[in-house]
């Protein structure tokens, strides 16, 4: 028997690590991975609440979150490739102009 | 008791992987530690009885999405990230603020844990029931996600294909 709060604390730690990485890292790929980490943290709390309230809908929502994350990864990585092609850099501090 | 021990072991691996993701300077190391996080999260899902979610986690997240990440890292030949100046205000305010808020959140969550405990494996999530829910209660969202994925595929192809000037010069040359 694991208390629900343990799962929530773990999910909170993962989400906080994701937010920290999003804010402190400079490499655009690592920033993107931090976003995936945040989504994983949220998924864990979804599954924990699903088990706690005996509602399987929570697990179906995790499925939808994963689908959206996959679509987001495909589009986001394509954008990263396009940015790299025009700027020749992955550092977000060097991508500071909207125009080419 | 066994469940608690397993939860603690894989939770520790999970947190260690997440911290390693932040600490590493090279993106490929961050990607590999993210795979560790996702793998140990799959074990946590199994402890909660969510077999389907655990399998999907390994196949889609640790498999498909991370392979995409590793491919892009190799494709762009990403090296170690260069350091640029950070904000001093963020250091002075951010770290104490983060510590205070995390202690507060953990204290609130743990103070109200009390008797409520998640019985491990009490709610089995077999693919059969999940599939039934997906095609009855969540049929509309399911169909909408198929449209979303179609749009994502087209967007990725359009964005990642080389600009027209490059294509034309290739045809001429």
Q: Is B134's CB within 8 Å of A5's CB? A: no
Query: Residue A55 pLDDT more than 80?
Result: yes
Q: What is the pLDDT of residue B125?
A: 61
Q: Is A90's CB within 8 Å of B141's CB? A: no
Give a yes or no: residue A67 inside a domain: yes
Q: What is the CATH number of the domain that holds A50?
A: 1.10.287.3510
> Considering chain B, what is the average pLDDT of its residues?
84
Query: Residue B172 pLDDT more than 60?
Result: yes
Q: What is the pLDDT of residue A92?
A: 84
Give a yes or no: residue A15 inside a domain: yes
Q: What is the pLDDT of residue A36?
A: 94
Give a yes or no: residue A51 inside a domain: yes
Instruction: Report the Cα A59 to chain-centroid distance in Å.
Output: 18
Q: Tell me the per-residue pLDDT of B63-88, one tens digit each, with 9 for 90 and over.
A: 899 999 999 999 888 777 777 666 77
How far away is chain B from the Cα of A100, in angstroms, using its nearest Cα?
A: 13
Query: Residue B139 pLDDT more than 90?
Result: yes
Give a yes or no: residue A41 inside a domain: yes
- pTM summary value: 0.86
Query: Residue B26 pLDDT more than 70?
Result: yes
Residue of B nearest to A48 (CA): B48
Give a yes or no: residue A99 inside a domain: no
Q: How confident is the model at residue B114 (pLDDT cuts 50, 70, 90)?
A: low
Give the span between the Cα atoms of A11 and A6, in whole angstroms: 9
Give a yes or no: residue A36 inside a domain: yes
How far away is chain B from the Cα of A42, in angstroms, using its nearest Cα?
A: 11
Give a yes or no: residue A56 inside a domain: yes
Q: How confident is the model at residue B41 (pLDDT cuts 50, 70, 90)?
A: very high
User: What integer is the mean pLDDT of A7-15?
Assistant: 90
Tokens of B148: 């979303």
Range of A89's domain? 4-94
Which chain B residues are within 8 Å of A28, Cβ to Cβ?
A: none
- What count of other Cβ atoms lies within 10 Å of the Cβ of residue B115? 5
Residue of A nearest to B49 (CA): A51
- What count of other Cβ atoms lies within 10 Å of the Cβ of residue B170? 9
Query: Residue B110 pLDDT more than 80?
Result: no
| B88 exposure class (CB count in 10 Å sphere: 0-12, 13-18, 19+) | exposed
Domain count, chain A: 1
User: What integer is the mean pLDDT of B55-68?
Assistant: 91
Q: Is B69's CB within 8 Å of A77's CB? A: yes
Query: Residue A90 pLDDT more than 60?
Result: yes
Q: How confident is the model at residue B124 (pLDDT cuts 50, 70, 90)?
A: low
Helix (H) or strand (E) holding B40: helix B27-47
Q: Is the Cα torsion angle A50, A13, B117, B47 positive or negative in sign?
A: positive
Q: How confident is the model at residue A40 (pLDDT cuts 50, 70, 90)?
A: very high
Give a yes or no: residue A100 inside a domain: no
């Amino acid at each position: 028997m694991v208390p629900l709060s343990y799962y929530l604390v773990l999910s909170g730690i993962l989400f906080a690590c994701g937010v920290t990485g999003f804010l402190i890292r400079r490499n655009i790929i690592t920033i993107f991975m931090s976003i995936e980490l945040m989504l994983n943290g949220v998924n864990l709390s979804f599954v924990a609440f699903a088990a706690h309230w005996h509602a399987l809908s929570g697990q179906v929502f995790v499925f939808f979150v994963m689908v959206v994350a996959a679509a987001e990864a495909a589009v986001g990585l394509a954008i990263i490739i396009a940015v790299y092609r025009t700027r020749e850099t992955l550092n977000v501090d060097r991508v500071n102009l909207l125009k080419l | 008791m066994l469940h608690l021990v397993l939860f603690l072991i894989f939770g520790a691996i999970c947190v260690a992987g997440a911290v390693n993701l932040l600490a590493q300077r090279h993106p490929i190391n961050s990607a590999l530690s993210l795979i560790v996080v996702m793998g140990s999260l799959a074990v946590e899902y199994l402890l909660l009885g969510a077999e389907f979610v655990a399998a999907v986690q390994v196949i889609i997240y640790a498999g498909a999405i991370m392979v995409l990440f590793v491919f892009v890292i190799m494709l762009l030949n990403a090296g170690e990230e260069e350091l640029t100046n950070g904000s001093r205000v963020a250091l002075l305010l951010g770290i104490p603020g983060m510590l205070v808020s995390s202690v507060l959140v953990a204290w609130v969550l743990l103070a109200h844990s009390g008797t409520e405990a998640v019985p491990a494996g009490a709610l089995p999530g077999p693919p059969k029931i999940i599939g039934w829910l997906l095609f009855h209660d969540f049929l509309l969202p399911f169909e909408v996600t198929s449209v979303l994925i179609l749009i994502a595929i087209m967007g990725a192809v359009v964005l990642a294909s080389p600009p027209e000037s490059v294509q034309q010069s290739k045809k001429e040359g």
